Amino acid sequence: MPRVKLQRFHDNATRPDIIEPGKPEYEQLGGRWRTDFFRAPHPLTLEVGCGKGEYTVGLAQRHPERNFLGLDIKGERIWRGSTRAAELGLTNVGFVRMRAEALAAQFGAGELAEIWITFPDPRPRDRDIKRRLTSPRFLALYEQLLAPGGLLHLKTDNEGLFEYTLETLAVRPGARVERFTRDLYAEAGPEFAEAQAIQTNFEGKYRAVGVPIKYVQFRLS
């Protein structure tokens, strides 16, 4: 393993804003993230599959009155998000290294106010449908962890995943799409301003070659 990567893994093990396997707090904070981790009773927003943390950090900058967590399985990615948050002096953001499938082990029922899913792997093969982050399997998990009426957001460049998500929501009892667009940056209304406010490097590359960004905001109950 390259020396730089080893150093970053060591950094993660010592950083209080990163929760990962091997730390005593891992799987011990469910239902207590706001009181024991953030020590602030603000609403908690989770980004599932946060990558380098650009979106999680951007949201934390925009909303100092809220708490934000980025979740990803790759330690080197969340090292970057943690580093950026420290450079900005943010205290309302943290990261947890784990797979999304294990969310129920980390969060209590109704603990989350909001969930963002930004540019996930579209999992285009039929045999991978259950691994899509907007599949019925994951929607059931999100519904368990969200407070009643909690919001979810999906941003994606992938048309197939976007249409699959809309179709899945259309047949799910209790699900309600608040707004959606197949070309986010062509929208001028204030209802899309929050989704337009943060642009990841990945997102910028797709926009630069003319790929429209899709967005949907929805609730599950």
User: What was the pLDDT predicted at 112?
Assistant: 98
Q: Check whether 47 is labelled as a binding-site residue.
A: yes
CB-based contacts of 213: which residues, under 8 Å, 6+ apart?
155, 156, 157, 183, 184, 185, 203, 206, 207
Q: Check whether 157 is labelled as a binding-site residue.
A: yes
Weakly modelled stretches of the chain, pLDDT under 50:
none
User: What was the pLDDT predicted at 202?
Assistant: 87
User: What was the pLDDT predicted at 1?
Assistant: 61
Q: Looking at this protein, which amino acid is placed at residue 93?
A: V
Q: Check whether 72 is labelled as a binding-site residue.
A: yes
**C-alpha closest to that of 120 among 158, 74, 146, 175:** 158
Q: Check whether 126 is labelled as a binding-site residue.
A: no
User: What was the pLDDT predicted at 91?
Assistant: 96
Enzyme catalytic residues: 121
CA distances from 198 to 5, 37, 54, 203 (A): 28, 25, 8, 10
CB-based contacts of 65: which residues, under 8 Å, 6+ apart?
42
